[in-house]
Amino acid sequence: MTTIKHANILHRDLKLQNIMIHFTNLEPQKLLDPNFDLNKYVRNCPFDENLVCKITDLGISRKLEVDQLAGSSCGTITFMAPEVLGGNLYGHKADVWSFGVLFFQMITGFLPFDGDNMIDFIEKLKQGKY
């Protein structure tokens, strides 16, 4: 199976909405049971549960070799790396930034940076005020 890393794909819109998790040990018919509590299942899921994570929505992704840079600003603003927001050239590290934002959101339930408007958001991001 080809992975994004090996395919040199720059996703450019990594966020929770674009990640699917498949619990391979969960029988599909359980989801039809009105008494089945998916939240409880996920909370009590054993660490050895076989999980398959898939990245979806490759609509604005592009092939980018390791030594290449991209220049167009696209994606979800709250997950964009500072260089993307600033209109600078960027590479695969921009996706690494987005993963960091995604993990922060998974752990805390909040995005690391916010603002009353776009200017406020960008200023907090520049200052590292999360």
Q: Token pair for residue 86?
A: 């600033």
Domain range enclosing 71: 4-127
| pLDDT tens for each residue of the chain, 130 residues long | 555 556 889 999 999 999 998 888 888 889 899 999 988 888 888 766 678 889 999 999 999 998 899 999 999 999 999 999 989 999 999 999 999 999 999 999 999 998 899 889 988 888 888 8
Q: What is the pTM of this model?
A: 0.81
What is the longest distance spanned by two Cα atoms in the chain?
Answer: 53
Residue 121: which CATH number? 1.10.510.10
User: Structurally, how many domains does the chain consist of?
Assistant: 1
